[in-house]
């Protein structure tokens, strides 16, 4: 246990140093989008460091490092390409910069230094699996890899579909509602979360694996309450108004499903609310 704690502490210092460097870069570029790149690249750096320091079963270590590296390279490349193609700062950070005014640069260092903390929390199932010295790969670990593959392919497809839609000038100001975006308003977020779910399933084959569920729970919290869906939908409502409200009405907010299923769920929820109101009124 002491070895694990020391390795994680050393890894945290590496991540904090990386994010400090990226913060210094944004002082010059005035683009805080690099915080996201540092988060995804930092996870690969952190897991690689842990794999080198811990004495887990070699094949399990290779599987974990491979999964994280593929995810990190794909996401980091996507984020870098977005920064290169669009000279504007990510709208989330642009709004924060405007809101903070003269204090933006100091406040942004907090944003950057939160990323290593998120890396640490999300790495819990990976640390658990990397610490497992038992030889052999279990069915649970194979299942975890299978779920991870679904998440990887799904997120890559959603990103590609959105990029292709946005690259067409005829779609400017419109809402992408084709492909996976017909079945979920945020399929990229759903499949991203699916990969963190996969790591928790993978960790269940190791001692203390139950604690690995902190990762998908925390990622779901971030997506639902902090940096994901609320921010994106508020921005879309502000700029696309009634068109996005219609999209919200017809399309699942997270879990992909046929529009007819979503409408039945919405109708069922509406009926339950009406029944509750009626019961309270009668009381």
**Which of 97, 121, 136 is at the close of a domain?**
136
| Residue 165 sits in the same domain as residue 107 | no
| Residue 105 sits in the same domain as residue 29 | yes
| Residue 148 sits in the same domain as residue 228 | yes
| Residue 24 sits in the same domain as residue 116 | yes
Q: What confidence score (pLDDT) does residue 276 get?
A: 54
The residue range of the domain holding 17 is 1-136
| Residue 158 sits in the same domain as residue 277 | yes
Q: What confidence score (pLDDT) does residue 210 get?
A: 97
Q: What is the DSSP string of the chain?
A: -HHHHHHHHHHHHHHHHHHHHHHHHHHHH--TTHHHHHHHHHHHHHHHHHHHHS---HHHHHHHHHHHHHHHHHHHHHHHHHHHH--SPPHHHHHHHHHHGGGHHHHHHHHHHHHHHHHHHHTHHHHHHHT----S--HHHHHHHHHHHHHHHHHHHHHHHHHHHHHSGGGTT----SGGGGT-S-HHHHHHHHHHHHHHHHHTTSTTGGGGGHHHHHHHHIIIIISSHHHHHHHHHHHHHHHHHHHHHHS-SSS---HHHHHHHHHHHHHHHHHHHHHHHH-
Q: Cβ distance 46 to 123 under 8 Å?
A: yes
Q: What confidence score (pLDDT) does residue 275 get?
A: 47
**Which of 81, 112, 136 is at the close of a domain?**
136
| Residue 145 sits in the same domain as residue 277 | yes
| Residue 31 sits in the same domain as residue 164 | no
Q: What confidence score (pLDDT) does residue 222 get?
A: 93
| Residue 164 sits in the same domain as residue 113 | no
| Residue 88 sits in the same domain as residue 157 | no
Q: Cβ distance 54 to 4 under 8 Å?
A: yes
Task: Give the pair of three-digit tokens for residue 216.
Answer: 């998908």
Q: What angle do CA 111, 116, 120 make, to 5 degrees?
A: 135
| Residue 104 sits in the same domain as residue 163 | no
* Mean pLDDT over the full length of the chain: 90
| Residue 182 sits in the same domain as residue 60 | no
| Residue 236 sits in the same domain as residue 250 | yes
pTM tops 0.95, yes or no: no
Sign of CA dihedral 178, 183, 184, 187: negative
**Which of 81, 107, 136 is at the close of a domain?**
136
Number of domains in the chain: 2
- pLDDT per residue, tens digit, the chain (283 aa), is 768 899 999 999 999 999 999 999 999 988 898 999 999 999 999 999 999 999 899 999 999 999 999 999 998 998 888 888 877 888 788 888 998 998 999 999 999 999 999 999 999 999 999 999 999 999 999 999 999 999 999 999 999 999 899 889 999 889 999 999 999 999 999 999 999 999 999 999 999 999 999 999 999 999 998 877 888 888 889 888 899 999 999 999 999 999 999 998 888 765 545 545 455 555 5
């Amino acid at each position: 246990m002491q070895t694990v704690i020391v390795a994680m502490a050393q890894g945290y210092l590496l991540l904090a140093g990386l994010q400090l460097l990226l913060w210094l870069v944004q002082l010059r570029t005035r683009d805080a989008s690099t915080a996201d790149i540092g988060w995804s690249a930092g996870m690969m750096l952190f897991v690689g460091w842990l794999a080198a320091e811990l004495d887990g079963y070699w094949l399990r270590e290779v599987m974990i490092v491979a999964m994280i590296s593929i995810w990190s390279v794909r996401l980091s490349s996507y984020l870098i390409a977005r920064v290169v193609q669009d000279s504007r700062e990510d709208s989330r950070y642009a709004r924060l910069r405007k809101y903070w005014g003269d204090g933006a640069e100091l406040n942004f260092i907090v944003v950057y230094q939160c990323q290593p903390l998120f890396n640490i929390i999300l790495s819990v199932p990976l640390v658990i699996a990397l610490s497992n010295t038992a030889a052999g790969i279990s069915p649970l670990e194979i299942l975890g890899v299978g779920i991870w593959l679904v998440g990887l392919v799904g997120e890559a497809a959603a990103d590609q579909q959105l990029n292709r839609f946005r690259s067409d000038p005829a779609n400017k100001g419109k809402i992408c509602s084709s492909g996976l975006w017909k079945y979920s308003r945020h399929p990229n977020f759903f499949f991203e979360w699916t990969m963190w779910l996969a790591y928790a399933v993978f960790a269940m084959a190791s001692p203390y694996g139950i604690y690995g569920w902190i990762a998908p729970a925390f990622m779901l919290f971030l997506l639902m309450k902090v940096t994901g869906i609320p921010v994106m939908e508020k921005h879309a409502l502000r700029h696309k108004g009634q068109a996005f409200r219609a999209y919200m009405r017809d399309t699942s907010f997270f879990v992909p499903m046929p529009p007819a299923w979503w409408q039945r769920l919405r109708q069922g929820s509406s009926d339950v609310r009406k029944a509750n109101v009626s019961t309270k009124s009668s009381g």
